[in-house]
Structure 1
């Protein structure tokens, strides 16, 4: 029977250009991306496990931080809150085929301290929340980029 408590075994720091996330190594703990030049994180297949993946950025992104589903059958549902001025935050929703989050360090978020939470809620379905500072005119970080 799964535990009702989140694991809290510290932080996994990502410094490489790519990382494939796994339940054993990444679920329930903080994933800290410490690479400004861009990084691609690939999620495992969503099965309805309830596993939670929490990602934060330790530096402003100068390249794209891409968080993607393992294949086009997996989709994301949720929202991104991006803000950069006194006018408040912009809110962006996923589309039906969204499978990728791209934080570019400017209009799509990705400033130091950005936070992304992804939960495996059903077969082929990820629930997502993105919170980040952005610059310029905010734009959606969601796309259908996995083929």
Structure 2
């Protein structure tokens, strides 16, 4: 059974961070430059939340706020369920599905050690299926 640690080993555990006082527009520019859909929000270097494209769409655009005047602190997601590297891919899929979310923060010893997305889980599942298929081919051919 594949675990979150397998995903982090494959993709790395580095995360892009911004300060909670950053304007939404600057955060969006960073996300666009890095081609990412979320960014970790920190306050005095500590994890306080996650800003996602969905946060922007639902909490800025739909509420008529200004991206130039709104800080990330005002719209970030702070209630994401934390997971640990030992959690299984299946557990994470259930958590994301039940909570209708696309990102999960990963913590080890109460320190953020990565972010996983629904795309990471799908990729890991596909790789697992490909490994199984290859093992079955080898078994049949031997």
Larger proportion of strand: 1
Query: TM-score scaled by structure 1?
Result: 0.30
Larger proportion of helix: 2
